[in-house]
Structure 1
Amino acid sequence: MAKYLEVDNSAQAVIARINDAECTPRFRELMVGLIEHLHAYIKEVKLTQAEWEVAIDFLTRTGQTCSEERQEFILLSDTLGVSMLVDAINNRRPANATQTTVLGPFHVAGAPEREMGANISLDGVGESCLFKGRVLDTDGNPVAGARLDVWSDNADGFYDVQQPGIQPKWNNRGIFTTGADGAYHFVGIKPVSYPVPVDGPAGEMLTAMGRHPYRPAHTHLIVTAPGYQKLVTHIFVGDDPYIDSDAVFGVKESLMAPFRKVEGGETLWECPFDIVLAPEA
């Protein structure tokens, strides 16, 4: 056992201090992996003292940027591709089930329950769109009692929590519950592409890497139903200019939906999108 920490034995010296009697096997596995990879990274890049101080400041400011309305650590995870990697590892589903993607930093719990068909665009700004489809199981049967928690940005690319006092509270948000036929429909707006917040540490990182901060246009959904796996997903506008370079790597081809122009209808656009839930394991 390494008694003192040296460059050559640094990871082993730290790991040796773990008390197996006081931690679970899984926590030990997680910490050993973290220590080994972190120490190997520092040695590989020959991290300087000044760079380490910058890193500490970066992480400190990331935490300080977080609030009830904003989660900078989620944004950091998203823009580094970590959120999508964790999602991919933990959400392997049947081939015909709707795929998952990132939650994003702007979901708000407690959105109002709305009657099926209601309009969630409270400010009336933007190009109106009818979203419709069915919630099905993997055998094609309708799922009754499925709850769809939906939210999107406004016509200027901002979520309501980013503009308190400007947008109405719960603008472009709502929860809908399917009936026996599994069908859903509601009116919102055709979403627009927007930049993730760049006024914090995650934005500084993107700028330093020469990356753009834009997400392709999308509407968020969380779909839950008894006996089925929770689904966190998006409906993407497939012809968006940022569809192939999403800043948070959240695009999947199966989540690109058609947005059809409506002539003489009650909305300017129509978006059909069926949702297939995977059964609980």
Structure 2
Amino acid sequence: MSVKVFDTKEVQDLLKAATNVGSQDGGARAKQIVNRLLGDLFKAIDDLDMTPDEIWAGVHYFNKLGQDGEAALLAAGLGLEKYLDIRMDAEDKAAEITGGTPRTIEGPLYVAGAPVRDGVAKIDIDPDDDAGPLVIRGTVTGPDGEPVAGALVECWHANSKGFYSHFDPTGAQSDFNLRGAVGTGSDGKYEFRTLMPVGYGCPPHGATQQLLDVLGRHGNRPAHVHFFVTSNNSRKLTTQINIEGDPLIWDDFAYATREDLIPHVVEKTGGTALGMKTDAYKEIQFDIELTPLIQGKDNQLVHRLRASASA
């Protein structure tokens, strides 16, 4: 049996000193969190009898994770982002908030600053021979079921290679390709004219896939489209839809799939009149129901570092 030192006075004093607990200096909340996390790590080292080699392998891994800029991607892949959604779902249930379009993870690839159009936006800036035309349209309603005027619907997704503009390693995409935003009118309607996305995989030589390989997991996502929806009198919605029929819908490495977020894909004609690349196109109807503010406040706003650019 390995030695156990976590509960000794020496280690407990070290933990207090390292996190400056008991001092008036520093941030009380930060010290509380770091003390708990560092203490849990110390105890895990004891309980699992981790070796110095394993600890330093972990330290070097975090160096690579930072160098690759994949911390947010790993947060999705290890279920951390999904866990936060589970907690927010539970908070809504406790507050007896019902209805509303389900939330799901934001992911790491949003870019602020997309041009805002009235009602309809054509967001396929770059040609893509391997992607067919797609229309995503719907109505934004409030808790009362009435259309919401002045809502901002933001949309972003990958191209047929699985790459997002601003993050495309090939450099082939224009700024804000397959990204856009529309403001709803009095009828609450929005529409995006775009191209059919595909799923993507983690960078094969990146830190996230390195860890997933050790865990015996893949790093792939089904085809999906992200949304932010905001309104002055409702809580912000962060969600995404999966493309019906994708084989990875229920095997998403980021755990973002929800039953109510797999809308039906309909074959349509008349795309030429809509300015699309072919007359035949696919359409997804995705109606969005927002939920009420809590005592006049939006408790769904998440403050995190996000990319931004000028359109």
Fold conserved between structures, TM > 0.5:
yes
Deviation, 1:28, is 4.4
The answer as to 2:145 corresponding to 1:146 is: no
Shift of 1:117: 2.3
Q: Distance in 2 between matches of 1:144 and 1:116?
A: 10
Do the aligned residues in 1 keep the contact of 2:118 with 2:184 (CA within 8 Å)? Answer: no
TM-score, with structure 2 as normaliser:
0.81
After superposition, what is the alpha-carbon deviation per residue over 1:169-195, rounded to whole angstroms, capped at 9, x for unaligned?
Answer: 211001110011111112112221221
More moved, 114-123 vs 183-192: 114-123
Quote the RMSD (CA, aligned, Å). 2.1
Contact 1:20 1:28 in 2 (8 A): no
Structure 2: unaligned runs, 5 residues or longer: 272-278, 295-311
> In the alignment, which residue of structure 2 is the partner of 1:214?
220
Counterpart CA distance in 2 for 1:118 and 1:258 is 21
Corresponding residue number in structure 1 for 2:197: 191
Q: Which moved more, 1:54-63 or 1:87-96?
A: 87-96
Percent of paired sites with the same residue:
32
Return the alpha-carbon distance in structure 2 between the equivalents of residues 263 and 110 of structure 1: 32
Would you identify which runs of 4 or more consecutive aligned residues in structure 1 move more than 6 Å? none
- What does 1:122-201 correspond to in 2, within 5 Å? 122-125=125-128, 126-163=131-168, 165-201=171-207
Distance in 2 (CA, whole Å) between partners of 1:35 and 1:74 is 21
User: AA paired with 1:124?
Assistant: P
What SS does the aligned partner of 1:195 have? coil
C-alpha separation in 2, matches of 1:246 and 1:269: 23
Match of 1:183, as an amino acid? K
Q: Which amino acid aligns with 2:241?
A: I
Q: 2:122 is matched by which residue type in structure 1?
A: N
Instruction: Tell me the residue number matched to 1:257.
Output: 263
More deviation in 163-172 or 28-37?
A: 28-37
1:105-120 residue pairs with structure 2 within 5 A? 105-120=108-123
| Corresponding residue pairs, total | 272
Contact in 2 for aligned 1:11/1:35 (Cα 8 Å): no
Instruction: Decide whether the 8 Å contact of 2:150 with 2:231 is kept in 1.
Output: yes
Looking at structure 2, the residues matched to 63 and 220 of structure 1 have their Cα atoms a distance apart, in angstroms, of 25
Post-superposition offset of 1:267: 4.9
1:202 corresponds to 2:208: yes
Secondary structure of the 2:134 match is strand
Q: Contact conserved, 2:6 with 2:12, CA < 8 A, in 1?
A: no
Give the corresponding residue for 2:88.
90
Report matched runs for 1:18-97 at 5 Å.
18-22=21-25, 26-66=29-69, 72-91=70-89, 92-93=91-92, 94-97=97-100
